[in-house]
C-alpha cells in the first residue's frame, strides 16, 4: 500500500480495517514477531529484515524497486540478535548460542557471534575466524555490535572479542578482551589492540584509529578513560571511583574529534564530550535521552530519543532532519512512531508505527516524494482492529508516592468488576513503555484487564524515583503493586476477588513475593525466571565473578538492602524461605539455558513448595534463555500461563 503521507491514515482505515472478529489465537501472540529488525541499506535500495514463519527464522534481503527477494537465509540453531549493513552489498548478522565452552572458566554463557552475508553471491563467513597469527588465538565471539568504518575505500569492521595472548592459555580460560579489525571483503582479521582484565570498551574514530579505551576495576569500582592522542600516545584523560553508576563510552560526540561519555554527576545523568587530541573534557550537557542516534557516514551523534513519562520524543540537532522527522510523525498522527533505520542520505527511512488506527507494524517513508509504503504488520494475524486499548494510569502508593503504569483492557466488556492480572516488569531498574506488548495483549485478549505498574525503582521518572526503590526489594517495591490493585478496585474497574499476578525475571520474583510477602491480594501467581532464594542467587553471582567485590553484587545489594551476599536479612524477602506461608496456587516456568537467573532458582522454589504441601506446577522450557528468544518455548510459556490463569482465575 502506497499513499501520500497526509492521506495514510484515511487510506489504511479504508483498506486495512477488517470485519469484527473473534480474538486471534494464542499462537499469533506467542510466536516471535513475523517481521523484525528492519534495516535499510546505505543507498536505500535494499531492505533486510528477520522473518519468522512458525519455528523457522530467516534473514531476508529484498530489492525495493521491484520487491524481488535477493536472499532468504534460514537460521535455526542460533538465535538471531541483530542485523547491520556494513556497506550496500554486505550484511552483518549477529546471532547467539548458550553454551559452556570446554576449557574456559565459568558456567554456561550466552555467546554472541558475527557473520557476514554477501547479498549478491549469498556467501556467508564468520567475522572472527582463522586468525592465524603466530602466538595468538581467538574465539569467534564478540562483545557488542561491530563498529563499521570505510578506510581507503575498503569496508572494515572493528569488533571486541576474546584474545588469548599465548595461544595455549585458551585451554586455561585466561582470555582477555581484544579489539580486532576485519576487512569485510576478504574476511582477513587482525588483533590491533590487546586489552587487559580491566578493559571495558574501545572507541574507533572515523579513520579507523583506536582513539579511546575505557577501563573498570571491579574490586575498587575505579573507572578510567584513556585517550590515544596524536602527540603523546595513550594518556589517562580521567579516573573516577564509581562503584555503581559506571560511566559509559558511547561513541563519537557531535564532532569527529570528540568522544561521548554518559555518566552520573550529582544524581543526574549528563553527557560530556572529550577532546580526542588532548583528553580535555567539555562541560556537562543535559542527557534526557533513552537512546542516541548516530550518523551512518560521519558516525557522529546527531540526535536522541526521549521517553518522558508516556510521551516519546525524537530530537535531531540538524534543523533539516528535525523538519523531515516532524513531517513524518505528523503524517502518522495519533500513532507512536519510532525510527527503525534509514539510508545514509536520510531521504528514505523505515519507521515502526503503533496505534493511530494502523495497528503495530512498519512503513517505508520516502521524504523526497512524501510517500509511504506499509511494509507489514509486526505480528501476522494481529490487525489494527485486534490491538486492545492500553491507557496510562497513575495512583498513589500507601506512602503517597505517585506510581505510573499502563492498563490494557479486554474488548467488549464494560469497565466494571473486571478480572485483573498484575504484570510487573523485570529489571528492576527498567520500565514498561506505552504501546504494543505481546504478553499484556495476549492476556487481555482472553478477557483480563492487565496492569503494568512502573513501581518505585523503575527508570523514566527521574533519578529520585529510581532511588526510592533502593533497599525496597520485596518491601515497598512490592506493595506498590498491590496499591495499584486497591486503586483499581476503588474505581470499580476490577473485582478485587479476581486478581492474579504474573511476572518475568524481577517480575517473576514479584509474583512469588506476592504469594509470600503480600498475602490476601492474589488468587494465584505465575513466575517466569524469577529469583526465589536471594542468598543462593548472590552466591551464584559471586562464584560467576570469582569475587564478592564486583559491580553486579553491589547493584543487587543496593536494591535488596543487603550488607553482603550472605546477609541473613535476605531470608526475610526470599520466597523460597517462606514457602509455608503460601495459600494460593503457583505456576513456575524457567528456561534451561537461562544465563541471567539460574534455572536452579525455580527448582529451589518448586521443591520448597512441594515440601510444604503447597500447590505448584513447574514448567521447564528446554533450550530457552532468559529473554524468550524461541517461538516454540515462548508459545509453550504463554499457553501454560493462560491455562493456569483460566483455571485459577476464570475471566468470565
Separation of first and last alpha carbons in the chain: 40
pLDDT digit string (tens) for 569-624?
Answer: 999 999 999 999 999 999 999 999 999 999 999 999 999 999 999 999 999 999 99
Summary mean pLDDT of the chain = 90
pLDDT at position 104: 59
- Euclidean distance between CA atoms 55 and 633, whole angstroms: 10
- Euclidean distance between CA atoms 639 and 637, whole angstroms: 5
Q: Are 353 and 332 in contact (CB under 8 A)?
A: yes
Name the pairing type of β-strands 418-422 and 494-504.
parallel
Residue 507: C-alpha distances to residues 12, 478, 635 (Å): 37, 10, 19
pLDDT band at 25 (very low <50, low <70, confident <90, very high): very high
Whether the predicted pLDDT of 1 surpasses 50: no
Whether the predicted pLDDT of 24 surpasses 70: yes
- Euclidean distance between CA atoms 423 and 425, whole angstroms: 7
% residues pLDDT > 70 (the chain): 92
Secondary structure element (H or E) that encloses residue 606, with its range = helix 600-611
The full set of domains in the chain, from first to last, is 1-76+332-386 (no CATH), 390-533+574-648 (3.40.50.1820)
Residue 123: C-alpha distances to residues 109, 118, 148, 226, 356 (Å): 28, 5, 19, 39, 41
Q: At what angle do helices 631-648 and 438-445 cross, to 10 degrees?
A: 40
Burial of 389 (0-12, 13-18, 19+ CB in 10 A): exposed
pLDDT at position 531: 97
pLDDT digit string (tens) for 515-550?
Answer: 999 999 999 999 999 999 999 999 888 887 777 788
pLDDT digit string (tens) for 216-236?
Answer: 998 899 999 999 999 899 999
Whether the predicted pLDDT of 166 surpasses 70: no
Burial of 133 (0-12, 13-18, 19+ CB in 10 A): exposed
pLDDT band at 395 (very low <50, low <70, confident <90, very high): very high
- Euclidean distance between CA atoms 484 and 41, whole angstroms: 46
Q: At what angle do helices 534-545 and 600-611 cross, to 10 degrees?
A: 150
Whether the predicted pLDDT of 310 surpasses 90: no
The residue that leads in pLDDT, 19 or 406, is 406
Q: Are 483 and 499 in contact (CB under 8 A)?
A: no
| DSSP secondary structure letter of residue 281 | B
The closest alpha carbon to 583, from 613, 617, 618, belongs to 613
Whether the predicted pLDDT of 69 surpasses 90: yes
Whether the predicted pLDDT of 21 surpasses 90: no
User: Is this model's pTM higher than 0.85 or not?
Assistant: yes
Residue 118: C-alpha distances to residues 43, 282, 334, 560, 565 (Å): 16, 42, 39, 49, 49
pLDDT at position 492: 97
% residues pLDDT > 90 (the chain): 74
Whether the predicted pLDDT of 67 surpasses 50: yes
Residue 72: C-alpha distances to residues 57, 69, 118, 287, 349 (Å): 10, 7, 12, 40, 22
Q: Which residue has the cell 521443591?
A: 607
- Euclidean distance between CA atoms 630 and 628, whole angstroms: 6
Whether the predicted pLDDT of 170 surpasses 60: no
Q: How many CB atoms lie within 10 A of CB 427?
A: 18
Amino acid at each position: 500500500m502506497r499513499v501520500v503521507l497526509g492521506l495514510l491514515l484515511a487510506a489504511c482505515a479504508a483498506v486495512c480495517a477488517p470485519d469484527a472478529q473473534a480474538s486471534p489465537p494464542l499462537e499469533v501472540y506467542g510466536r516471535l514477531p513475523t517481521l523484525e529488525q528492519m534495516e535499510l541499506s546505505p543507498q536505500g535500495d535494499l531492505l533486510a529484515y528477520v522473518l519468522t514463519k512458525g519455528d523457522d527464522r530467516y534473514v531476508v534481503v529484498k530489492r525495493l524497486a521491484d520487491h524481488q527477494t535477493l536472499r532468504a537465509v534460514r537460521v535455526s540453531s542460533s538465535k538471531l540478535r541483530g542485523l547491520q549493513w556494513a556497506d550496500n552489498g554486505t550484511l552483518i548478522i549477529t546471532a547467539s548460542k548458550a553454551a559452556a565452552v570446554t576449557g574456559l572458566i565459568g558456567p554456561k554463557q550466552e555467546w554472541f557471534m558475527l557473520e557476514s552475508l554477501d547479498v549478491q553471491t549469498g556467501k556467508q563467513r564468520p567475522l572472527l575466524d582463522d586468525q592465524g597469527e603466530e602466538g595468538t588465538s581467538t574465539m569467534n565471539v564478540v562483545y557488542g555490535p561491530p563498529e563499521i568504518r570505510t578506510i581507503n575505500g575498503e569496508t572494515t569492521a572493528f569488533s571486541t572479542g576474546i584474545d588469548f595472548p599465548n595461544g595455549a592459555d585458551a585451554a586455561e580460560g585466561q582470555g582477555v578482551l581484544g579489539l580486532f579489525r576485519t576487512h569485510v571483503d576478504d574476511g582477513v582479521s587482525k588483533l590491533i589492540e590487546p586489552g587487559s582484565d580491566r578493559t571495558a570498551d574501545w572507541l574507533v574514530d572515523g579513520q579507523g584509529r583506536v582513539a579511546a579505551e575505557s577501563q573498570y576495576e571491579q574490586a575498587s569500582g575505579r573507572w578510567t578513560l584513556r585517550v590515544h592522542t596524536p602527540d603523546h600516545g595513550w594518556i589517562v584523560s580521567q579516573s573516577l571511583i564509581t562503584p555503581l553508576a559506571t560511566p559509559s563510552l558511547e561513541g563519537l560526540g557531535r564532532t569527529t574529534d570528540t568522544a561521548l561519555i554518559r555518566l552520573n554527576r550529582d544524581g543526574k545523568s549528563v553527557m560530556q564530550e572529550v577532546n580526542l587530541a588532548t583528553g580535555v573534557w567539555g562541560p556537562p550537557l543535559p542527557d534526557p535521552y533513552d537512546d542516541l542516534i548516530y550518523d551512518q557516514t560521519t558516525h557522529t551523534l546527531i540526535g536522541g530519543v526521549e521517553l518522558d513519562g508516556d510521551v516519546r520524543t525524537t530530537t535531531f540537532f540538524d534543523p533539516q532532519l528535525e523538519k523531515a522527522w516532524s513531517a513524518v510523525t505528523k503524517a502518522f498522527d495519533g500513532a507512536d512512531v519510532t525510527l527503525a533505520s534509514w539510508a545514509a542520505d536520510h531521504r528514505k527511512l523505515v519507521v515502526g508505527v503503533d496505534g493511530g488506527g494502523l495497528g503495530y507494524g512498519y512503513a517505508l517513508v520516502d521524504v523526497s516524494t512524501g510517500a509511504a509504503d506499509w511494509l507489514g504488520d509486526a505480528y501476522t494475524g494481529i490487525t489494527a482492529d485486534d490491538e486492545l486499548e492500553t491507557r496510562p494510569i497513575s495512583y498513589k502508593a500507601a506512602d503517597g508516592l505517585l506510581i505510573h503504569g499502563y492498563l490494557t483492557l479486554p474488548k467488549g466488556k464494560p469497565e466494571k468488576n473486571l478480572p485483573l492480572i498484575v504484570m510487573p516488569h523485570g529489571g528492576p531498574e527498567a520500565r514498561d513503555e506505552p504501546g504494543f506488548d505481546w504478553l499484556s495483549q495476549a492476556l487481555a485478549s482472553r478477557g483480563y484487564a492487565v496492569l503494568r505498574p512502573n513501581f518505585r525503582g523503575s527508570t523514566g521518572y527521574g533519578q529520585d524515583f529510581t532511588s526510592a526503590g533502593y533497599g525496597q526489594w520485596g518491601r515497598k517495591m512490592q506493595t506498590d503493586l498491590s496499591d495499584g490493585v486497591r486503586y483499581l478496585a476503588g474505581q470499580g474497574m476490577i473485582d478485587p476477588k479476581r486478581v492474579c499476578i504474573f511476572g518475568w525475571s524481577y517480575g517473576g520474583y514479584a509474583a512469588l513475593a506476592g504469594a509470600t510477602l503480600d498475602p490476601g491480594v492474589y488468587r494465584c501467581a505465575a513466575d517466569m525466571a524469577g529469583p526465589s532464594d536471594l542468598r543462593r542467587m548472590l552466591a551464584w553471582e559471586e562464584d560467576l565473578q570469582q569475587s564478592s567485590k564486583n559491580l553486579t553484587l553491589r547493584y543487587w545489594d543496593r536494591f535488596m538492602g543487603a550488607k553482603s551476599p550472605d546477609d541473613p536479612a535476605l531470608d526475610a524477602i526470599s520466597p523460597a524461605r517462606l514457602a509455608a506461608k503460601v495459600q494460593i496456587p503457583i505456576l513456575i516456568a524457567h528456561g534451561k539455558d537461562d544465563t541471567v537467573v539460574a534455572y536452579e532458582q525455580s527448582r529451589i522454589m518448586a521443591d520448597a513448595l512441594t515440601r510444604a504441601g503447597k500447590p505448584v506446577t513447574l514448567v521447564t522450557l528446554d533450550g530457552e534463555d532468559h529473554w524468550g528468544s524461541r517461538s516454540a518455548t515462548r508459545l509453550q510459556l504463554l499457553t501454560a500461563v493462560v491455562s493456569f490463569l483460566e483455571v485459577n482465575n476464570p475471566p468470565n
